[in-house]
Amino acid sequence: MVRLEGVHKRFGRLEVLQGIDLEVKRGEVVCVIGASGSGKSTLLRAINLLEPAEQGRVFLEGVEISGTKGLNDVRRRIGMVFQQFNLFPHKSVLENVTMAQRTVLDRPKQEAAERARSLLERVGLADKLEEYPDRLSGGQQQRVAIARALAMDPHVMLFDEVTSALDPELVKEVLDVMRELAREGMTMIVVTHEMGFAREVADRIVFMDEGLVVEQGPPAEVLDSPREERTKRFLGLVLEH
Amino acid sequence: MDAFLSQYFDLDIMWRSLPDVLSGFWVTIQLWLVASVLSLIWGLVLSLLRQLPGRAAAPIRALTIVYIDALRGIPLLLVVLLISGGLGALASEDVIADWIGLPRWFGKPDPFWYGVFAITLTYGAYMAEVYRSGIEAVPSGQMQAARSLGMSYAQAMRKVVVPQAVRKVFAPLLNDLTALMKDTSLVLVIGLAEVVSIGQDIQAETFNSSALVLGAILFLVVTIPLARIVDRQIAKQQIRYQRA
Ligand SMILES: Nc1ncnc2c1ncn2[C@@H]1O[C@H](COP(=O)(O)OP(=O)(O)O)[C@@H](O)[C@H]1O
Ligand SMILES: [Mg+2]
């Protein structure tokens, strides 16, 4: 579904991705863990080419997308949800979910609104269609952001620490939506610090450090009996809390 | 004291000059409105050109910066003179067509349009910087979110970034429009009978400044409400700030 081969990315002198190889199969849920600054966000942005790698290749559904044109159509097949929600504050909830459907997919207004309604209902926000983002809680905003991404009928979803900016009591409502999505078979790459969620939902855990994939495998292996020293140290730090 | 009052506030002269002053003010208002709309558009175009992404657009960005710096650094009066003298001469030498060199569109005389051009060229440059500050104040996550949904750069600018930027710079833009209104009076140097030039003519005839004071009052009738709108807008934004 998604494949990265030797992806390098640098910002000035800092090499943030130092040769990433990663393959994610259709329907697979991969959780990416790692310390802050290890390159997890950059990895996600290299996948949907918001931050194109200067070396290496990225494939989507068997076709190379790095170094090609037509990125808008590629991006619309890769949904992305951000830590800071990034809802459009000047638009209502409904408009947030219909805007790209209308401009990118040329869906008729009626159809886009219907799709938005059904998605917002699915994430439990059917009663908030006309609200503006700043009137919503963080958890509600994040659920709108998920609906907004899903409205483009993506083939894979990227989640970048989507619960990190939330008050603890709001984390569950967002994770529940993601759990549901995973159960329905969505291909997902999830950067997260929620180890409980990762253990429960992930088919595979990828541990990153200093721009490299250090270790990967089923949750039970990576989380309970990591092979690498760096993984042990990281898990020691996170699981203490 | 009486001499002072009658020099500036001779009600009789004010009353008698009212029709002329009002007709001059109508010209001022028209000049203001047309130049405002065009400056707002031109300024936005400039700010977008200045921030075009990509290596290929580097020359366009550089040229735009040169233009903006140049027009912000030259007195508007000078631009007015360059435009009116220059375009008129070029048209009479048939270097450029009459419709642009001697514009008489919509029944307005050519000094009116020279004024519109000059003001738009200059205020477009000022407003480009205002828009730019607004665009830069929109968090980069907005562009990223729009692009991640498959929107093109142009779509993301049009639908997501610019609408938010314009809201952020509403107050400074209104300030520029107020300044623009006052600067319309510079066009009197090329013979446009706007409110200040009419007041000046009456002053020369009567040795009395009351018609000019009347003109000043008319300016204030427009500019003071604008200042209040700016205040209200700033207060509103502060409330929104505190909520966010
Ligand atoms: N646009 C950028 N410009 C410069 N440096 C960046 C940029 N984005 C990320 N970085 C740097 O790259 C490193 C990895 O960042 P990131 O991918 O966000 O890590 P993570 O998501 O794992 O915390 C950090 O040191 C960060 O400062
Ligand atoms: Mg990150």
pLDDT tens digits, residue range A63-98? 999 988 888 999 999 999 999 999 999 999 999 999
Q: What is the pTM of this model?
A: 0.90
Give the pLDDT confidence score for residue A240 in this predicted structure.
67
Residue of higher predicted confidence among A204 and B99 = A204
Give the pLDDT confidence score for residue B110 in this predicted structure.
87
Rounded Cα–Cα distance for residues B148 and B158 (Å): 16
Give the pLDDT confidence score for residue B105 in this predicted structure.
85
Residue pair B208/B13 in contact by the 8 Å Cβ criterion: yes
Residue pair A16/A10 in contact by the 8 Å Cβ criterion: yes
Q: Please tell me if residue B147 touches chain A, with a CB cutoff of 8 Å.
A: yes
Give the pLDDT confidence score for residue B63 in this predicted structure.
97
- Closest C-alpha among B185, B197, B189, B174 to residue B126: B174
Q: What distances in angstroms separate CA A178 from CA A159, A190, B52, one per listed residue?
A: 9, 10, 37
Residue of higher predicted confidence among B240 and B221 = B221
pLDDT at position B236 over 90: no
Give the contacts of B7 (CB within 8 A, at least 6 positions apart).
B208, B209, B210
Residue pair A147/A114 in contact by the 8 Å Cβ criterion: no
Give the pLDDT confidence score for residue A56 in this predicted structure.
94
Mean pLDDT, all residues of chain B: 92
SS (H, E, C) chain B: CHHHHHHHHCHHHHHHHHHHHHHHHHHHHHHHHHHHHHHHHHHHHHHHHHCCCCCCCHHHHHHHHHHHHHHHHCCHHHHHHHHHHHHHHHHHCCCCCHHHHCCCHHHCCHHHHHHHHHHHHHHHHHHHHHHHHHHHHCCHHHHHHHHHCCCCHHHHHHHHHHHHHHHHCHHHHHHHHHHHHHHHHHHHHHCCCCHHHHHHHHHHHHCCCHHHHHHHHHHHHHHHHHHHHHHHHHHHHHHHHHHC
- Give, as residue ranges, everything with CB less than 5 Å from ion ligand 2: A 41
pLDDT at position B242 over 80: no
Nearest residue of chain B to residue A147 (CA atoms): B149
Residues in chain A where the model's pLDDT stays below 50? none
Q: Which residues of A touch B243 (CB under 8 A)?
A: 134
Give the pLDDT confidence score for residue A112 in this predicted structure.
97
Give the pLDDT confidence score for residue B33 in this predicted structure.
96
Residue pair A80/A89 in contact by the 8 Å Cβ criterion: no
Q: Position of tokens 């009663």? A: A127
CB contact under 8 A, A82 and B144: yes
Give the pLDDT confidence score for residue B243 in this predicted structure.
61
Residue pair A125/A143 in contact by the 8 Å Cβ criterion: yes
Tokens matching residue A238: 């996170």
pLDDT at position B234 over 90: no
Give me the domains of chain B, ranges plus CATH numbers: 2-243 (1.10.3720.10)
For chain B, what percent of residues have pLDDT higher than 90? 71
Q: Which residues of A touch B149 (CB under 8 A)?
A: 75-76, 99-100, 104, 148-149, 152
- Closest C-alpha among A192, A209, A164, A160 to residue A35: A209
Interface of A with B (CB under 8 A): 45, 48, 50, 72-80, 82, 84, 86-90, 99-100, 103-105, 134, 145, 148-149, 152
* Mean pLDDT (whole number) for B106-129: 94
Nearest residue of chain A to residue B140 (CA atoms): A86
Per-residue pLDDT band at B241 (split at 50, 70, 90): low
Per-residue pLDDT band at B96 (split at 50, 70, 90): confident
Give the pLDDT confidence score for residue B26 in this predicted structure.
94
Q: Which residues of A touch B141 (CB under 8 A)?
A: 82, 84, 86
Q: Position of tokens 């640098």? A: A10
Give the pLDDT confidence score for residue A114 in this predicted structure.
97
* Mean pLDDT (whole number) for B200-221: 92
